[in-house]
Amino acid sequence: MRYLDQIIVLNEERRRAILELLNRDGRVLVTELADRFETSQVTIRKDLEVLHEQRQVHRTHGGALPAREGALEDPTLREKEQLHRKEKLHIAEAAARMVKEGQVVILDSGTTTTAIARALREFHTLTVVTNAVNIVTELAGTSIDVILTGGTLRTNSFSLVGPIAEDTLRHLSADLLFLGMDGFDVNYGLSTPNLLESKVNRVMLEVSKRTVAACDSSKFGRRSLSLIAPPSAVQEVITDRGITRSDLKSLKKAGIEVTLV
């Protein structure tokens, strides 16, 4: 067997072993894998990036999680709150630094945008528009003016959707939209498992001067049922350093500003 063929076989064997560990333990870390396979962390990161691009794993900061199953998967807000807490906190801090007093900001529903709402609590002359009932609760008792869209409640996400929510948004204008999503495929776009949610999101995009996609790196490489918009619809992305080099390169090539936290 030629030397190059040997390397390819070794890489494939190691990646199969990584998948077996991931299925067994539910999560793998770069540092632990490097020790286990007696190789460099750079090599392990490359393995995880390859598996991520093949949609066999979901890359996270410092490791990987199992690939989600199905474009219809729609976990509850409480389930999502348990995932990537540190990354969401850093994303929220970066988002808050983009906001200026006197602006109108739209916050989509979701755990990352909820973290952003918490980071905005100290503003004094800010207006926040949202379709998320829980975000209204987060901002209650602050100096922030809050506009709730109204609409039909989605109980698993605490979001309001439907014609009432869409009509309310069409009568407003915002300086900045922080948009969350369940999937961000750099070749396809931003997506969500709920059709009604995607329609509300599209109206948010229409009425906002600038859109920032706020998501942890596990969202990249995923596609959910309903497309919200192509990548070109956003001007900036805030994510963590777990994003793959190929996805980062694609975003920058498309002219999208990227803030890594």
pLDDT, one tens digit per residue, over 125-162 is 999 999 999 999 999 999 999 999 999 999 878 899 99
Give the pLDDT confidence of 174-200 residue by residue, as tens digits.
999 999 998 999 999 999 988 999 999
Q: Looking at 66, 93, 113, which one is the last position of a domain? A: 66
71 lies in a domain? no
- The total of structural domains in the chain comes to 2
> Among 255, 211, 257, which residue's Cα sits nearest to residue 233?
211
Token digits of residue 39: 């190789």
Q: Which domain does 190 fall in, by range?
A: 77-260
222 lies in the same domain as 146: yes
Cα 215 off chain centre by = 2
Domain membership of residue 12 (yes or no) is: yes
Residue 72 has pLDDT above 50, yes or no: no
Q: How far apart are CA 92 and CA 54, in angstroms?
A: 29
Q: Are residues 185 and 90 in the same domain?
A: yes
**pTM score > 0.85 for this model?**
no
- Residue 138 sits in the same domain as residue 232: yes
CATH number of residue 37's parent domain: 1.10.10.10
Q: How many CB atoms lie within 10 A of CB 131?
A: 33
Cα separation of 28 and 15, whole Å? 12
Give the chain's largest Cα–Cα span.
Answer: 70
Residue 229 inside a domain? The answer is: yes
